[in-house]
Structure 1
Amino acid sequence: MTLLRLFPHGPTDCEATLRTLAAHTIPGAEETDLASHTHTRLLRHAGEPVRVTVTFTEKEITVNLPDTVPDPAGLAAPVRRWLDLDADTERIAGALAGDPLIGPLAERRPGIRLIGYPDEFEAVVATVVGQQVSLAAARTFMGRLVTAYGTPAAGLRTLPTPRELVAVPDTELQAAVGLTLARTRTLRTVAQRWADGFTLAHLTAGEARRALLALPGIGPWTADYLTVRALQHPDTFAPGDLVARRALGSVTADQARTIAERWAPWRSYALMHLWADAAYTPPGRGRTRA
């Protein structure tokens, strides 16, 4: 095995990172082991899927990969992007420290990072599949999708490509995954768009949001969520997110948007703090409330 050692800029909250990954782990495609602080999945490199195991510690992140992988150092940059390792978490936590709600969360978890996805299309598919359902249901749907249409590789399975999904009839895709017909059609719509070469890369946050909202079945929450998780834009909030709104005292979307203005230019990190506190906190641990 080849070992890459990656050093993040500033502190990293390993527990929050692992629990974020675990909450979205796709059965059959990923494995998260909280006890060993590891996450295993396939990353595409040099045109092939490569099985990697990422181990998290407070000081560094190590990446184990097969010795047969060409140019293993070439995986360092995409892993750093995926895990947001170049964000200055100390500076971000300091900027949020004075806020009465986010300040205590930033003090508790100064190393919160904007965990993204290694692949943009994966982010889009996972978000569409996860619309208006629980995290557990979203994992189940994604696992079915991977089982039905993914390709086996190194003991795991890849996510189907846009072209592979486009080739699947609506009725077959719906039956295999268990989505509603409307959600199935949205999934195939985005698959067709990405198969045609569309990408969010190099778009501004505003451009990306407008492009996403132009797609049938994509609403404001999905567009905001993808701006945060796929683009990893540092200053986006999702005022329609129910978890965030509950954390803010069960406010309306407009009220949540107004409250979030005080966290600029780090609104995405504030949102990650709210998610971590409400959704990724271990059982029995106290949570901060608005």
Structure 2
Amino acid sequence: MTPVPDGVTTVPQVGAPADRAGSWTRHVPVVRPFDATSAIATLLAHAVPGVDRVDAGRGEVTRLVETGSGTVATTVRLTPDVLEVRGDGGDPDAVRALVARWFDADADLATVHTVLGADPVLAPLLAERPGLRVVGHPSGFEAAVTTVLGQQVSLAACRTFAGRLAGAYGREGDVAGADGLRLFPDPDALAGAQAAELQSAVGITGARTRTLLALAAACADGLVLGPQVADDPAALADTRARLLALPGVGPWTVDYLSVKVLGDRDGFVPGDLVLRKALGGIDARAAARTAEAWAPVRAYALFHLWTHTAY
């Protein structure tokens, strides 16, 4: 049974949702096998109160997604065979493409299985979850903010901070199907916040507040956090360098965002405590050396180790 974190509710539903005027459905094919169960567990662990609604029983997540033609209340139902995407208005094809990236629908599982299947550490984990994906995030900025909020605290505390931030600086979703969900604050909204008010509203330290404001200002000024840089080594290196230049952003944060947001499928987070415990308590340098054997799919090795340890 998938554990449900505090603040995330699962509401039993009967039958299919009723169609609304302007509603649409799209289907995203997935490279099989696809581990929908582990993906839902990841969503549950990271769900932001008021922003994400995760229904473990139905295997669904609902949240507001912003497209070039407006905000869309989007529900994704994850199954082993397909991702069913439902929404109202906006640009259905843009949402469909975003969902495909979010859940790594086109994963190169052949390479993953060839590389990790030959490794004595990863082979048993791969056999247990052959369809595990590198689950990303629909909003690079939101993921970066929650990653900063999660530095040196538990996931539960991170979710609490993120929920407070969304409640104080986010916007209500005034669109069909929103049902009380909020949009996470965008870079402009957060960059314009007063430091003292932000610190008080979220309950974080002054140092963490300065990091959030610097991150928001950088993104408002043109720093783009998205998977489009993954296939351009120079762009990936530049984005990483710009993140590292921000106060309070170190290698762990940048490595994590490279995997989660920037789409680097060979990315790795050697300094991560959970990862190092999964590898027997080794230090970051030893973890990096161990991971050399898992190139060019180190991100999948990372997710296998994380998932095996956490779920």
TM above 0.5: yes
Give the structure 1 partner of residue 308 of structure 2.
277
Shift of 1:123: 1.5
Aligned mates of 2:47, 2:110 — CA distance in 1: 27
In the alignment, is the contact (CA less than 8 A) between 1:141 and 1:178 conserved in 2? yes
CA shift in 2, pair 1:131/1:98, >3 Å: same
Shift of 1:74: 2.9
Aligned mates of 1:47, 1:138 — CA distance in 2: 31
Shift of 1:35: 1.2
Which runs of 5 or more structure 1 residues have no equivalent in the other structure? 282-290
1:28 pairs with one of 34, 50, 57: 50
Structure 1 residues 44-98: Cα deviation after superposition (integer angstroms, max 9, x where no partner): 12342211111111111101112xx144233211111111111122441232111
Aligned mates of 1:56, 1:250 — CA distance in 2: 34
Give the structure 2 partner of residue 180 of structure 1.
205
In the alignment, is the contact (CA less than 8 A) between 1:29 and 1:143 conserved in 2? yes
* Correspondence 1:112 to 2:148: no
Give the structure 1 partner of residue 293 of structure 2.
262
Give the structure 2 partner of residue 135 of structure 1.
155
Alpha-carbon RMSD: 1.3
Q: Which fold has the larger relative contact order, with Cα–Cα distance below 8 Å and residues 6 or more apart in sequence?
A: 1
* Correspondence 1:49 to 2:80: no
1:17 pairs with one of 32, 36, 39: 39
CA shift in 2, pair 1:110/1:28, >3 Å: same
In the alignment, is the contact (CA less than 8 A) between 2:136 and 2:260 conserved in 1? yes
1:223 pairs with one of 245, 254, 260: 254
Aligned mates of 1:46, 1:255 — CA distance in 2: 44
Which runs of 5 or more structure 2 residues have no equivalent in the other structure? 1-22
Give the structure 1 partner of residue 9 of structure 2.
none
Q: What percentage of residue pairs aligned between the two structures are identical?
A: 46
Aligned residues: 278
Query: What letter is aligned with 1:13?
Result: D
2:87 pairs with one of 46, 55, 65: 65
CA shift in 2, pair 1:206/1:71, >3 Å: closer
Aligned mates of 1:189, 1:20 — CA distance in 2: 28
Shift of 1:173: 0.3
* Correspondence 1:97 to 2:97: no
